[in-house]
Amino acid sequence: MSYDAFLKQRIFEPLGMVDTGFGIPDDQRDRLARLYGFSETGGFAETVESEPRHIPSSIPRGGFGLISTAPDYMRFAQMLLNKGELDGERILGRMTVEYMTRNHLPDELIPIQPAPGWFVHGYGYGFLFGVLVNAVQAGGLGSEGEFMWSGLNTVFWIDPKEELIGLLMTRLEYPNHIPFYLDFRTLTYQAIVD
């Protein structure tokens, strides 16, 4: 069974994720949002992907080419927040989700350094997810134990203590150059009133 078929059969279909896969069928390509990049004047301009991620590949890779919609992505995130279950369907075991979303890095490897000169303070790493281990060091609002993942145009985080899912999907090349993810997180947490 191929990786793509395995994911469809074991995760996407049981979760009702009907618009998620590696690539977009030809008859669905008009649904893909336009991609924007930076113009020479510093603003935004429509651009063309140098490596189109929406064209189906014969070698599906988890870090490249997985395409989804906001409703599908939210179903996946809700399943994780529910510790592996959604709509009565058990996808992952509760203890599996807890293990995946726990920091597995020793203290001497924190802060994480994904690239030379780039440090991610306050986060450790579980299996598939960055895990907030020190909210003060991370320099923003949040709860220790929250976990997150970011892709080229998408970032999401799940805060089990607040029962919160944050999902930001863009079609912007190199969105890390713009602080709206941090602004989005801050505004989300500031909106919580008890």
Q: What is the pLDDT of residues 136-150, one digit of tens each?
A: 999 889 999 999 988
Collapsed DSSP state (helix, strand, coil) of residue 45? strand
pLDDT digits over 47-96, tens only?
Answer: 776 666 666 666 666 566 778 899 999 999 999 999 999 999 999 999 99
Residues 79, 103, 176, 178: what is their CA dihedral angle, to the nearest 10 degrees?
Answer: 80
pLDDT of residue 32: 82
Structure confidence by residue, pLDDT tens digits, 135-193: 999 988 999 999 998 877 788 999 999 999 999 988 877 655 566 788 899 999 999 99
Which structure tokens are listed for 38? 């930076």
What are the extents of the domains in the chain?
Answer: 101-194
Alpha carbon distance 175, 170 (integer Å):
8
